[in-house]
Amino acid sequence: MSSSLRLIVSVSLSLATTFSAANAQCDDEPSARKSVEGIEKDLVQLRDQQEAREEAMQRRIKEVADGLVRSGKWVEQDRAIFFEAQIRTEAYVAAEKKKKSDLDLLALAAQSVIGHQEKGDFKMACLSAADMRLILERVGATNDAQYTRMLEGIRTIAERK
């Protein structure tokens, strides 16, 4: 199966699973229009929430790494080696590929919102906007899992040393 066909199938499946959940907010024209008009604010809010979670995780990871360095159990080179090893793991690479695929789907959903909105089909634009929200949430969840693995990995090292 070509990558374009896989992408189309993924978008179709995403739309199908989202349809029932988003259908209520997209059921009538005024609700659909309101949802589409609020997409930018919603996406900014999701992004801000994700950034806050990332910053909190980065602080926790840094605290553990700093503690290892302060205690003499690590030198700065050990910190660099740890993070380099983390971004080379199968799980990390797979998560990056998943996020890229999801971001490709996000771009397609955004194009769908715009296209349907230009045609005045706010119900379909609303369903695509709902997809955008779900896709961005999925990217955030993948990102959270990556940070959680890093935090667990560095905590395990700290406990062993």
Q: What is the pLDDT of residue 135?
A: 94
DSSP annotation of 72: T
Q: What is the pLDDT along the chain (161 residues), one digit of tens a residue?
A: 544 445 455 545 555 555 555 566 888 899 999 999 999 999 999 999 999 999 999 999 999 999 999 999 999 999 999 999 999 999 999 999 999 999 999 999 999 999 999 999 999 999 999 999 999 999 999 999 999 999 999 999 999 87
pLDDT tens for each residue of 42-87: 999 999 999 999 999 999 999 999 999 999 999 999 999 999 999 9
Angle in degrees, CA 48, 44, 91, rounded to 5: 60
Q: What is the pLDDT of residue 129?
A: 94
Written as one string, the DSSP assignment of 90-112 is HHHHHHHHHHHHHHHHHHHHHHH
Amino acid at 58: Q
Helix axes 29-37, 3-26, angle to 10 degrees: 120
Of 50, 43, 22, 51, which Cα lies nearest the Cα of 141? 50
Cβ(99)–Cβ(143) below 8 Å: yes
Q: What is the pLDDT of residue 114?
A: 95
> What's this model's pTM, rounded to 2 decimal places?
0.79
